[in-house]
Structure 1
């Protein structure tokens, strides 16, 4: 036997005995599978425990020796019983156990002990050389009778049958051992694949959740910025009209309505965030281009709306266009109060063009002192990019600003 065969890497066999370092990968994967999937509760059946798989083959081999040999022959009984006892070592030292069973097979009529031993070699070792060498030894031992001097090789039917029996005696346990090893490796690979798919599902769910949260954040930013800027304008008007009771009451009523509306929209969107598995249909409000006239009328700005859109467009496109106009008007109120705004929507060939242009703000107007996170235009760019469109925001030479977006309608 070569040194390479003696140190070849074993794999765990059916009893659960640990292998050598060469099988560390499979052992680690198997332990991981036990930890993640089956766990301690999915232990092997009792007949796979070492208390069964170690003594039972030895007892069967001893019974084979008692039934097949002459009880009065000391040579046959001693060699066959040594072969049966050697099976007790087949889990830890399968090669030694195999070599110990060969004299019993040669000098007596046993065959069960060598078959158990060569099966253990086939199961234990990942390197196939020990398995093939062990199978060859078993086949030769079965084929060549004792004493060797009486053996003559003749090309007849008896020799052919003897050779066939010898090959089957060695090949059957080897095939079974390879089947068990392959099945165990497939189980480990299947568990790794299952855990990999589970990780992919978790990552996909996290990605979808992150995308949904980003979309909700954009919606909340647009709604809150717009509504709060309107509230700020009305509060400023309330200060100016403090001497007129009727105007003060009307402005206070408007502030109250805007505040209630803002809180209601926030409550609806927070409900979507809390709902597990909420979809886009639950996201409210969902404004469209039909709501643009009301948006422009309530903006508190000197604003002209030019909408050349007659046919309905896809809902995502209409919602993105509405949010673009809403955010642009909010920015005008923040940074250029008193300016004139033009909102233009044009239906082109396969796209919707949205342009919001404002002049320079009035020097007498006081800008709204509202906090800004700088995410408004970023959110608009993300909306346009998701729909396959474009967005640009550029200042004009006269001190104004222009926000232009293009959304494909196909």
Structure 2
């Protein structure tokens, strides 16, 4: 096996200078090295007698060869080569078995593993054949057949080398599979975390879109109705003593507009009101929250509201407030998507509200054009009448921004700005079908 890191210190963490990743691995390898060194040292006594060298030399040779097993995780190839080299000396039984297992389980290329396994098997086979023939000759009890000795040597070779080699291959494949599964699990966890973040972002975006839509609707309803109420109240104050009949009429108009404003506000607030669950809230996945919020926004956006049919009434309300408003309709009227008609109505409504706020007494021209595949509207007012009384209506600066957001959301075009005559112009072009509906 290749190096896996460093051995652990007293605190359990890895320390530099070694290759063991865990203390248990270090204890196991050192223990195997001691047992192997002891085995080879004992077998070195017999090797010294056969080789004709002093016994201490044979013992030292065995101890040195057997202790190499401690390096099996760092250099498995070296361990197998040492076991092959000591095979003729008939030592290193544990060294050969553990070395082959470690080599097969490591990340060493399979070509090298097959080559070393073949060399080890060949060495064991040849040594077994030679030793067995020598034993047969010494015994002189019977003459074995020609195939008997090779067959016995082959069985012994397979018995010694095949189990550790196959078991090592199995452990290596299992380890690689587990690492692959862990990597896939980590990857899936990261993907789930990313999906959760995206779901949270989508939910946040849907909530923000809904808040923005409600803010636009509230601004349009309150600003327009209340602006007209303030204008009528100012007129009522001016004519209360001079023309009681007109004062009564203006008072009735103020009451009607207040009731209309309350009705629209109630309908909008009713959409926001939700029934509390009887059994208590239950945890909802983030993705479901995002989908529910987006669906609620889409459903709320598709509800019925003011349409182009009510444009004449809208203009008439401004006329009743004292403004001079001219309405021009071009093309053949037709029905559009509910969101398109409502947006067109709100654009004209907000433009008229801005006239009441910033251009009291100015003449206003409202143009509505029905074209092929789109509807266009334009509200243009002249300069403010200096003799007209200013209603002193506050301005939040959100009217043009809300109109632009409405039009852009449907894929339309919005343009606004002052005119050369000193007035102001608001123009918008909307597709006959909203972009969301087309999608």
> What residue in structure 2 maps to residue 356 of structure 1?
379
Pairing partner for 2:314 from 295, 309, 330: 295
Does structure 1 residue 366 correspond to structure 2 residue 389?
yes
Deviation at 1:184, TM superposition (A): 1.2
Instruction: Map Cα deviations across residues 200-240 of structure 1 (whole Å, 9 max, x no partner).
Output: 11112222222222222222222221111011112112212
Secondary structure, counterpart of 1:279 in structure 2: helix
Question: In the aligned structure 2, how far is the partner of 1:297 from the partner of 1:151?
Answer: 117
Question: In the aligned structure 1, how far is the partner of 2:182 from the partner of 2:213?
Answer: 46
Q: Kindly tell me: are residues 138 and 169 of structure 1, through their superposed partners in 2, closer, same or farther at Cα, counting changes over 3 Å? A: farther
> What residue in structure 1 maps to residue 428 of structure 2?
405
Question: In the aligned structure 1, how far is the partner of 2:389 from the partner of 2:101?
Answer: 95
The within-5 A match list for 1:222-241 is: 222-241=220-239
Secondary structure, counterpart of 1:405 in structure 2: strand
> What residue in structure 2 maps to residue 36 of structure 1?
none
Q: Kindly tell me: are residues 370 and 9 of structure 1, through their superposed partners in 2, closer, same or farther at Cα, counting changes over 3 Å? A: farther
> What residue in structure 2 maps to residue 282 of structure 1?
300
Q: Kindly tell me: are residues 397 and 181 of structure 1, through their superposed partners in 2, closer, same or farther at Cα, counting changes over 3 Å? A: closer
> What residue in structure 1 maps to residue 180 of structure 2?
182
Asked if 1 retains the 8 angstrom alpha-carbon contact of 2:230 and 2:391, the reply is yes
Deviation at 1:108, TM superposition (A): 4.9
> What residue in structure 1 maps to residue 351 of structure 2?
328
Asked if 2 retains the 8 angstrom alpha-carbon contact of 1:145 and 1:151, the reply is no
Does structure 1 residue 378 correspond to structure 2 residue 401?
yes
Asked if 2 retains the 8 angstrom alpha-carbon contact of 1:142 and 1:166, the reply is no
> What residue in structure 1 maps to residue 59 of structure 2?
none
Q: Kindly tell me: are residues 406 and 142 of structure 1, through their superposed partners in 2, closer, same or farther at Cα, counting changes over 3 Å? A: same
TM-score relative to the length of structure 1: 0.65
Secondary structure, counterpart of 2:367 in structure 1: strand
Question: In the aligned structure 2, how far is the partner of 1:264 from the partner of 1:253?
Answer: 16
RMSD between superposed Cα atoms in Å: 4.8
Deviation at 1:118, TM superposition (A): 6.7
Deviation at 1:395, TM superposition (A): 2.2
Question: In the aligned structure 2, how far is the partner of 1:272 from the partner of 1:334?
Answer: 30
Question: In the aligned structure 1, how far is the partner of 2:388 from the partner of 2:5?
Answer: 84
The within-5 A match list for 1:155-234 is: 162=158, 167-234=165-232
> What residue in structure 1 maps to residue 363 of structure 2?
340
The within-5 A match list for 1:63-142 is: 107-108=92-93, 122=106, 128-129=107-108, 139=117
Q: Kindly tell me: are residues 294 and 171 of structure 1, through their superposed partners in 2, closer, same or farther at Cα, counting changes over 3 Å? A: same
Structure 2: 5+ residue stretches without partners: 7-11, 17-21, 33-41, 44-69, 131-149, 275-291, 434-439
Deviation at 1:399, TM superposition (A): 2.2
> What residue in structure 2 maps to residue 143 of structure 1?
121
Asked if 2 retains the 8 angstrom alpha-carbon contact of 1:139 and 1:166, the reply is no
Q: Kindly tell me: are residues 132 and 95 of structure 1, through their superposed partners in 2, closer, same or farther at Cα, counting changes over 3 Å? A: farther
Asked if 2 retains the 8 angstrom alpha-carbon contact of 1:227 and 1:258, the reply is yes
Instruction: Map Cα deviations across residues 264-291 of structure 1 (whole Å, 9 max, x no partner).
Output: 4334434545657323333566211011
Secondary structure, counterpart of 1:310 in structure 2: coil
Q: Kindly tell me: are residues 113 and 263 of structure 1, through their superposed partners in 2, closer, same or farther at Cα, counting changes over 3 Å? A: farther
Deviation at 1:333, TM superposition (A): 0.8
Comparing 211-220 and 290-299, the one that deviates more? 211-220
Question: In the aligned structure 2, how far is the partner of 1:138 from the partner of 1:186?
Answer: 33
Q: Kindly tell me: are residues 385 and 279 of structure 1, through their superposed partners in 2, closer, same or farther at Cα, counting changes over 3 Å? A: closer
Q: Kindly tell me: are residues 298 and 165 of structure 1, through their superposed partners in 2, closer, same or farther at Cα, counting changes over 3 Å? A: same
Q: Kindly tell me: are residues 312 and 112 of structure 1, through their superposed partners in 2, closer, same or farther at Cα, counting changes over 3 Å? A: farther
Question: In the aligned structure 2, how far is the partner of 1:327 from the partner of 1:307?
Answer: 19
Asked if 2 retains the 8 angstrom alpha-carbon contact of 1:138 and 1:170, the reply is no
Deviation at 1:182, TM superposition (A): 1.0
Deviation at 1:159, TM superposition (A): 5.7
Question: In the aligned structure 2, how far is the partner of 1:304 from the partner of 1:254?
Answer: 20
Secondary structure, counterpart of 1:343 in structure 2: strand
Deviation at 1:408, TM superposition (A): 2.2
Comparing 171-180 and 207-216, the one that deviates more? 207-216
Question: In the aligned structure 2, how far is the partner of 1:169 from the partner of 1:117?
Answer: 10
Question: In the aligned structure 2, how far is the partner of 1:196 from the partner of 1:361?
Answer: 56
Equivalences, count = 338
Secondary structure, counterpart of 1:338 in structure 2: coil
> What residue in structure 2 maps to residue 387 of structure 1?
410
TM-score relative to the length of structure 2: 0.61
> What residue in structure 2 maps to residue 242 of structure 1?
240
